[in-house]
Amino acid sequence: MGLSIREIRDNTTRARHLMQRSRAQHFAVGAFNIDNQETLIAIALAAQKTNAPVLVEVSQGEIDAMGLDNVRDLVDNYKSQYGIEMYINLDHSPTVDDCKRAIDAGYEFIHIDISQANHEASEAEIIAKTREVVHYASFTGALVESEPHYFGGSSNVHEEAIDYEAIKKTFSTPEGAKSFVEATGIDTFAAAIGNLHGKYPVPKELDLELLSRIRESIGCQISLHGGSGTPLHFFEDAARIGVSKININSDMRFAFRKTLEKVLAEHPEEYAVVKLMPEVYGAVQAVIEEKIAAFGSGDKAVR
Contacts of 159-163 spanning 24+ positions with Cβ under 8 A: 159/201, 160/200, 160/201, 161/200, 161/201, 161/202, 162/196, 162/200, 162/202, 162/204
Question: Residue 93: inside a domain, yes or no?
Answer: yes
Structural domain including 246 reads 5-295
pLDDT 10s digits, 234-287:
999 999 999 999 999 999 999 999 999 999 999 999 999 999 999 999 999 999
| Helix or strand run (H / E) with residue 88 | strand 86-93
Question: Residue 302: inside a domain, yes or no?
Answer: no
Question: Residue 89: inside a domain, yes or no?
Answer: yes
Task: Kindly name the residue from 35, 73, 91, 97 that is annotated as catalytic.
Answer: 91
- Structure pTM? 0.95
- How far apart CA 175 and CA 183 sit, in angstroms, is 12
Residue 91 annotated in active site: yes
CATH code of the domain in which 259 resides: 3.20.20.70
Q: Nearest-CA neighbor of 155 among 257, 235, 53, 300?
A: 257
Question: Residue 301: inside a domain, yes or no?
Answer: no
Beta bridge partners of 222: 189
Question: Residue 300: inside a domain, yes or no?
Answer: no
- How far apart CA 36 and CA 270 sit, in angstroms, is 21
pLDDT of residue 120: 86
Question: Residue 96: inside a domain, yes or no?
Answer: yes
- Mean per-residue pLDDT of the chain: 95
Number of domains forming the structure of the chain: 1
- How far apart CA 301 and CA 299 sit, in angstroms, is 6
